[in-house]
Structure 1
Amino acid sequence: MDRPLLFLDVDGTLLPVGGDVPSVAWDESWQTDANPLLARLSPAHGPRLLALSCELVWATAWMADANELVAPRLGLPQLPVAELGEVPAAEDPSWSLSAAGAALSWKTRALVDQAAGRPFAWLDDEINDADRAWVDAHHSGPALLHRVDARHGLTERDFTVVREWLRGLSSQP
């Protein structure tokens, strides 16, 4: 049986953005070695993520740059990168609205397609109820959509939630 997938976001998840945020343009320069926020990555997260019984996959606007700039700082190997397509502009119609009026993440459909029924967890700071409802309606396997507090990034509580979810999967027949 394939191990569950763990889709990982970077900004706000592995890279906390709270507190005194240096003035950095959210453009091409954001995803370079010059980004001062990269110093906020916790090298302790790499071994903790690798210890989880799942397959790690980048699910981030950083795309393949996550392997060049984030993975080495965390001690992670090169990871697969989810095929998310282009990051849409906020006014793009692909930022569709759910029936409740909440925006569905531009990543949601792509991650469900990539999981193809396989169990997956998704750690991101922008997950909302519209994403959860869409995954519930369109994904045939177990899924954990866990919202991380962007001000702090991954915490012990977040790791506990994922470990318990994975443990629950392994106890299922």
Structure 2
Amino acid sequence: MPHYPIFFLDIDGPLLPFGGPPGKDVPAGRNAANPLVTRLDPALGPLLSALPCELVWATSWTHDANRVVGPLLGLPDLAVVEWPERADEQVDEWFGLHWKTRTVVEWAAGRPFIWVDDEIRDHDREWVSAQHGNSALLYRVDPRTGLRRKDFTVFTEWADGGFRSQ
């Protein structure tokens, strides 16, 4: 889908909110090794699939996202950002840049993108704007509540607002 923006998606926080107690019973098909998986809202799957974007996992779950979370949302296997060991990671953290920021921008390779994460900060936005221009939406999700239906209106409006190439 090279004509669509990329939609980089984190799992912990956006899809698996930290607020409230985890469910006591693990629903069928969910992994009891991660009790937060019980917090996954399967209604988010169709909302994600309907976005005019190319969905990409940008999570420390890496390929486990396709094995565990994707099927619970009804998503096909998605591309996965591989997180390289970075010599500059410690310097980035010292200057306030999130450890994922450089890799997300490199992975986008100039394409417009939305990045959804619960750890995005102002410094990440400033750095991405300087390095990638205004063709990126960095969207911080409250990790206590996770993604909400109203968030998808923002994503669709941004993607349809001229950042999707024709």
Give the shorter-chain TM-score range: 0.7 to 0.9
CA apart distance, 1:150: 0.5
C-alpha contact (below 8 Å) 1:84/1:111 kept by paired residues:
no
User: AA paired with 2:125?
Assistant: R
Aligned residue for 2:137, secondary structure, equals strand
> CA RMSD for the aligned pairs?
2.3
The number of equivalent residue pairs is 157
| Residues 46 and 86 of structure 1: CA distance in aligned 2, closer, same or farther (over 3 Å) | farther
Aligned residue for 2:93, secondary structure, equals coil
Matches within 5 A, 1:13-28: 13-21=14-22
Alignment partner of 2:129 out of 127, 136, 139: 136
C-alpha contact (below 8 Å) 2:45/2:74 kept by paired residues:
yes
Which residue of the partner structure matches residue 152 of structure 1?
A: 145
Which residue of the partner structure matches residue 60 of structure 1?
A: 59
User: AA paired with 1:42?
Assistant: D
Aligned residue for 1:121, secondary structure, equals strand
User: AA paired with 1:144?
Assistant: L
C-alpha contact (below 8 Å) 1:117/1:141 kept by paired residues:
no
Taking the aligned partners of 1:66 and 1:104, their CA distance within structure 2 comes to: 24
CA deviation map 1:149-171 (0-9, x unaligned): 10111002211111111121268
Which residue of the partner structure matches residue 105 of structure 2?
A: 112
User: AA paired with 2:6?
Assistant: L
CA deviation map 1:43-89 (0-9, x unaligned): 1111110100110000000001100110011111100001222599x
Structure 1 unaligned segments of length 5 or more: list them: 23-31
Which residue of the partner structure matches residue 27 of structure 1?
A: none
Structure 2 unaligned segments of length 5 or more: list them: 24-30
Which residue of the partner structure matches residue 77 of structure 1?
A: 76
Mapped pair 1:93 → 2:96: no
| Residues 144 and 35 of structure 1: CA distance in aligned 2, closer, same or farther (over 3 Å) | same
| Residues 170 and 136 of structure 1: CA distance in aligned 2, closer, same or farther (over 3 Å) | closer
| Residues 94 and 70 of structure 1: CA distance in aligned 2, closer, same or farther (over 3 Å) | farther
User: AA paired with 1:8?
Assistant: L
Runs (4+) off by over 6 Å? none
Aligned residue for 1:6, secondary structure, equals strand
TM-score norm. by structure 2 comes to 0.86
CA apart distance, 1:117: 0.8
Aligned residue for 1:7, secondary structure, equals strand
Q: Percent identity?
A: 54
Aligned residue for 1:133, secondary structure, equals helix
Taking the aligned partners of 1:112 and 1:60, their CA distance within structure 2 comes to: 14
| Residues 87 and 17 of structure 1: CA distance in aligned 2, closer, same or farther (over 3 Å) | farther
